Chains A and B, each alone.
Chain A
Amino acid sequence: MLTDYIPLIFMVVFGFGIGVVFLLAAEALGARRRTKEKASTYESGMPPVRTARERFSVKFYMVAVLFILFDIEIVFMYPWAVQFKELGSTAFVAMILFIVLLLAGYIYVIRKGALRWD
């Protein structure tokens, strides 16, 4: 039922509200002595060298793309899993074929070295 979902909205609003209360309490109780050094970027006590806005390794990108591929396939399998008993053996065989295809792609990715981290 749709009314089951109402507490979810309350939970989100509530969680956010608690955060605001925390911050306000810290604002009221906490110290406030700003200095230039304090507000500078942390770099183990040295003046920062270069910025963080630089290029980073392509490996992270590969992982992200592979995650999207695999996770979307798996998310699409959930409705099938809920209806597992009703759909019967034909659907199970079809799903196994689908997973075998997915695994073929997975083996290709591993062979290509997309997940080598050295």
Chain B
Amino acid sequence: MEHQILTFYDWVAKLSSSELVALILIVTLPLVFLIVYALVAILGELKISAFIQERLGPMRTGPWGIIQPVAEVVKLLQKEDITPDAANKPLFNMAPFLMFTAAYAGFAVIPFSSHFVPAGINLGLFYIFAMGSLAVIGLVMGGWASNNKYSLLGALRSVAQIVSYEIPAAIVILSIVVLASSMNLQVINANQGGWFWNWYVFGGPGSIWKLLVIPFTFGMFLLYLIASLAETNRTPFDIPEGESEIVAGYHTEYSGMKFAMFFFAEYANMFVVAALLSILFFGGWNSPFGDFMNGPIWGVFWFISKSFFFVFVQIWLRWTLPRLRVDQLMGVSWKVMTPVAFLCFFAVGLWAMLK
């Protein structure tokens, strides 16, 4: 970026007088965050699902069941790691690594605050897309290598679904790039500074005439929300893992820590799409109230609250909506969302041109 600010990286490098320490710190902090987030999200999923179904959820492990996720991790660590005899061993073992590494690598470009981003590259959005696509390969690898009919079917369904929903998502992101004239997530965030009506969900900064474009930008937000649910295989788009039809889909044959890696990758992806939603449409680390509670430290708070809100929405929808049928699923993506996304793209492009 042109305007040099003293980032977290520079600050640590100055303090410890070593670039390497700063580099290592900046790539490990997302992992610490990811672990804490995963534990919170697992507990959240258990508790929210329980409350939606008028149950209590886990209550025995610790006060109010709050150490349940830790217990689950310990349980998974103690499980036997089974590789089926029929499986293709190298691919079978590689798939969870690919999924997990891709999910973690996606965190590299996520700006947690105006002063903290592991890699503030100009191709940020592109990079997140690339990492999301790598997950598809891991999925097919695991499903095919398991040599199990359920796994193969689950993997194929999953890929068909992710790939279909990537098209409307890509068009929506393209429209945001048109508005922001940049693919750098920090620049996109900085463009939305000020009050909450400068967020791209409300058309971005502009005069009163942007009221005309708000329906389209809000539609884009809804399109991306739907597409992101499909891309993380969450209900109502969870036919790849439909328990009642194909056991657990692509990870039927996985057990122990390899299963945990798939699980972890799913939660990490949930956060990445939630973070993208908050960055692209809701101002990322910007405070909604102008200069009130604004700054690098508050930025972390705003960014994480916004992202957690969207993670909550994903969990909420999972326990509220029924699963779609496979033909409806494909129909929605190709015949409804793609044309609507193109329409929004035209409208936003026209507005950005005339602005």
Residues of A in contact with B (beta carbons under 8 Å apart): 4-8, 10-12, 14-16, 18-19, 22-23, 25-27, 29-34, 38-44, 48, 50-53, 56, 59-60, 63-64, 66-67, 70-71, 74-75, 77-78, 81-85, 89, 92, 95-96, 99, 103, 106, 110, 115-118
A52 contacts across to B, CB distance below 8 A? 144, 146-149, 151-152
Tell me the number of A-to-B contacts counted with CB atoms below 8 Å: 198
Point out the residue from A19, A31, A84, A116 that lies within 8 Å of B178, measured CB to CB: A84
The docked-state distance in angstroms from the alpha carbon of A22 to that of B149 is 28
Point out the residue from A11, A40, A89, A117 that lies within 8 Å of B105, measured CB to CB: A11
Q: Is B100 an interface residue (CB 8 A)?
A: yes
| Pair B163/A63 contact, Cβ less than 8 Å | yes
| Pair A84/B260 contact, Cβ less than 8 Å | no
| Pair A26/B79 contact, Cβ less than 8 Å | yes
Point out the residue from B79, B102, B151, B345 that lies within 8 Å of A31, measured CB to CB: B79
| Pair A118/B346 contact, Cβ less than 8 Å | no
Residues of B in contact with A (beta carbons under 8 Å apart): 23-24, 26-28, 30-31, 76-86, 96-97, 100-105, 107-108, 118-122, 125-127, 144, 146-153, 156, 159-160, 163-164, 166-167, 170-171, 174, 177-178, 181-183, 247, 252-253, 256-258, 260-261, 326-327, 330-331, 334-335, 338-339, 342, 345-346, 349-350, 352-353
Nearest Cβ on chain A to B4's Cβ, whole angstroms: 11
B349 contacts across to A, CB distance below 8 A? 84, 92, 95-96
Nearest Cβ on chain B to A96's Cβ, whole angstroms: 7
